[in-house]
Structure 1
Amino acid sequence: MNGYHILLVEDDSMIGDLLQKMLVREGYQVTWEKDGENVLDIIHQIDLVIMDIMLPGEDGYQVTKKIKNAGLNIPIIFLSARNDIDSKLQGLTIGEDYMIKPFDPRELLLRMKKMLENQYGTFTQIKHVFIDAEHKKVFHRSLHQEVAFTAIERKIFFYLYENRDRTLTKEHFFDYLWQLEDRNPNIVNVHIKKIREKIHDHTGEIIQNIYGEGYRLNTHMKK
């Protein structure tokens, strides 16, 4: 699981099945559609689209234009057996990339990885939690489920993250967050409890209570 939800629009069952299995094996969440009929109904959940061109009904170009006309900035990679220059230019004009069938799956995965990083940045994954340190955002299970932290909860979480795998005492938290306020010994516990609830860390594996010392955000765990 890497947090990204891929929409595969491909009417060829053999190619679609192979791509779906490959992407799932690489940790992506995949929705596979054999035509473009339902794409706009689910597109708000999607991070990247792999689009065939020759589809039943509307072709891949038409479906892509609908996505773009809806104001959705979602990267789209065309996969097509068409290798003429006009098809390539049209695909690169309305989409972000164009690959010709047959293709090497390793190349597709690398292009996807670079495109996703350029579009969304890079994330740190700790079990089911995805952390965007640059933008101070935390996601639960997928990039469409951002954790709704309060301002103080966000400060505490990223203070733990910046000092990950290191035990922080309550005095550390007080010095960092409440320098001019009364130091209620329970206030850290209350906020940590709420953070754990919001990231579904009910067993305290991610934010661990080090008895008699403080709290530690653990990164060295199996996902």
Structure 2
Amino acid sequence: MSRILIVDDDPAILSGVSTLLEQAGYEIAQAASLAQARSHLQAFNPPSLVILDLMLPDGDGFELCRQIRQGGQYLPILMLSARDELQDRVEGLTVGADDYLTKPFAPAELVARVRAILRLAQHQRETIGSFECGKLRFDCELQRAWWDEQLLELTPKESGVLLQLMRQPSHVWGRLALLQTVWGTNFLGDSRIVDVCVQRLRAKINQLDANADPIQTVRGFGYRLKCEP
């Protein structure tokens, strides 16, 4: 059974979301602060998914998301926040969240997004093998990628997009195809999330090699991977 950590300082949200996801068949852990969340993340049995509010008494969710990604943990994150401005959603995805849902939300949509995120994470863990393309290498079992033998710290969605591009380097992947493959056919958000994810991938590769440009944009079609030594 997947274990989900809900981080929110609103008792009503904690209770309501916990009940909703327990009824959907998930085990639940709760945290009302960043400190409590960190304690859960350091436990022997870490969660399979974090549902993360932004406004917390001892900091914000962006901070915790950054720390999780900097630590190299392969842990899906769904941000759930009343902050519905475009800049907040973009920042959430940029710092490493896999999805962003605003409050108030439809219970059925939250459950659908949780299932889609966990399904992708499980699929990626079960995919055995490795792929190489120029200086890029992806280990499917470890769910880790390297550029020129330097580890890339990727989110599950970034890993999913990179894996699809590496499976067929010469194939041009359209935005819709990547969205359906990585986020799932039931994803209800903005398709431009694919572009944000590709931008983050490029930025992380450029942090290791400023001259690297392995992900090509094919105008009007989508993206493909360029394999160069």
Where do residues 94-105 of structure 1 align in structure 2 (5 Å cutoff)? 94-105=96-107
Contact in 2 for aligned 1:40/1:67 (Cα 8 Å): no
- The 5 A counterparts of 1:42-121 are 42-43=40-41, 45-93=46-94, 94-121=96-123
SS across alignment from 1:19: helix
**Matched residue, 2:6:** 8
Distance of aligned partners of 1:25 and 1:57 in 2 relative to their CA distance in 1, 3 Å threshold? same
* 1:57-102, Cα deviation, whole Å (9 max, x unpaired): 1111111111111110111111111111110100111211111100
What is the deviation of 1:120? 1.1
Alpha-carbon distance in 2 for matches of 1:134, 1:37 = 34
Distance 2:23 2:47 in 1: 18
- SS of 2:121's equivalent in the other structure is helix
Distance 2:92 2:53 in 1: 10
The structure having more radius of gyration, on CA atoms, is 1
Aligned pair count reads 124
Distance in 2 of aligned mates of 1:133 and 1:101: 33
Q: CA deviation at 1:38?
A: 2.8
1:26-74 per-residue CA deviation (whole Å, 9 max, x = no partner) reads: 1101001001103233226111010000111111111111111111011
Post-superposition offset of 1:134: 6.8
Which whole-Å CA distance do the structure 2 matches of 1:40 and 1:70 have between them?
Answer: 12
Q: How does 1:138-217 map to 2 (within 5 A)?
A: none
Residue type of the alignment partner of 1:21: T
Give the RMSD, CA atoms, in angstroms.
1.9
Residues 156-181 of structure 1 deviation map (CA, whole Å, 9 limit, x = unaligned) = xxxxxxxxxxxxxxxxxxxxxxxxxx
- Among 7, 15, 22, which residue is 2:20 paired with? 22
Q: Is the 8 A contact 1:64 1:95 kept in 2?
A: yes
Mapped to 2, the partners of 1:133 and 1:92 lie a distance apart of 25
1:71 partner amino acid? G
Residue 62 of structure 1 aligns to a residue whose secondary structure is: helix
% identity of equivalent residues:
31
The aligned residue for residue 197 of structure 2 is none
Give the whole-Å Cα distance in 2 for the aligned partners of 1:78 and 1:92: 9
Stretches (4+) displaced over 6 A? 132-135
Offset from partner CA, 1:139-164 (integer Å, 9 cap, x none) = xxxxxxxxxxxxxxxxxxxxxxxxxx
Distance in 2 separating the partners of 1:41 and 1:68: 16
Residue 133 of structure 1: how far off its partner (Å): 8.1
Where does structure 1 lack aligned partners over 5 or more consecutive residues? Answer: 123-131, 136-223
Query: Within 2, Cα distance between the matches of 1:87 and 1:133?
Result: 33
Query: Aligned letter for 1:111?
Result: R
Change (3 A) 1:33 1:133: closer
1:30 is matched by which residue type in structure 2? Answer: I
